[in-house]
Structure 1
Amino acid sequence: MSGSYLNLIGLALRAGKCTLGEDAIVRDIQKKKAKLVLIAEDTGKQTKKKLTDKCSFYDIPCYMVDDRETLSQAIGKAGRVAIAVLDQGFAKKLQSLLDESIRG
């Protein structure tokens, strides 16, 4: 995957436009606050299923990204497996970067 989306995640977090933690992310998905959810490839089956099911039910884009180590490093917090982006601008840009890296 391209590293440019990781820089953008870090920026979004510093801007206060991200939610971390499974319960908080689920809550933001249900309230339709989350605009995009990123899940690490090596997330546990149950967590992955719970988040992807919530995203599909509430029609929120969801992407599988690198491993938890890479994701955690991008935001400067250890052991993070999922991130919800709350800002539409950041979400759109991240989606275009992720779609580009999937295609390219």
Structure 2
Amino acid sequence: MTDNRIISLLQLAMAAGKTVRGDGLIPAICRGKARLAVLSSETGNNTKKKILDKCRTYSVPVLELDAGEFDRISNRAMKALVVTDAGFAGRIDELRKDR
């Protein structure tokens, strides 16, 4: 179970416009704008592999959430996003390591 503070920070990052999703996700990783990638457990195998390979190549940490937890982030239909703000990403990474 993911800490509610992580979900809250991801919701704040989305509201602040500090996330990228959809077609802009891979380019954001490649251009060095992504600070943290967040995947739903329901992300398709091909998409997941593509994102994980890019994250490994560009040293972007990855957080995988259960589908139910990921759905709490936003009411939009999506399976993956990247956080582009270093402050949000750093705090989420700290909370993730504490659990």
TM-score with structure 2 length normalisation?
0.91
User: Identity over the aligned pairs, expressed in percent?
Assistant: 32
Name 2:83's counterpart in structure 1.
85
Name 1:2's counterpart in structure 2.
3
Q: Distance in 2 between matches of 1:14 and 1:20?
A: 13
Task: Tell me the number of residue pairs that the alignment of Structure 1 and Structure 2 aligns.
Answer: 98
TM-superposed deviation, 1:42? 1.8
- After superposition, the CA RMSD in angstroms is 1.2
Segments of 5+ residues of structure 2 without an aligned counterpart are none
One-letter identity of the residue aligned with 1:9: L
CA deviation vs aligned residue, 1:27-57 (integer Å, no higher than 9, x gap): 1000000011011112111011000000000
Name 1:76's counterpart in structure 2.
75
TM-score with structure 1 length normalisation?
0.87
Q: Distance in 2 between matches of 1:41 and 1:97?
A: 19
Segments of 5+ residues of structure 1 without an aligned counterpart are none
Q: What are the within-5 Å matches in structure 2 for residues 38-49 of structure 1?
A: 38-49=38-49
Q: Distance in 1 between matches of 2:97 and 2:80?
A: 18
TM-superposed deviation, 1:70? 2.7
Q: Distance in 1 between matches of 2:47 and 2:41?
A: 11
CA deviation vs aligned residue, 1:11-36 (integer Å, no higher than 9, x gap): 00111100111x21101000000011
Name 2:13's counterpart in structure 1.
12
Q: Distance in 1 between matches of 2:71 and 2:94?
A: 21
Q: Distance in 2 between matches of 1:3 and 1:51?
A: 25
TM-superposed deviation, 1:75? 2.1
Describe the SS at the equivalent of 2:25: helix
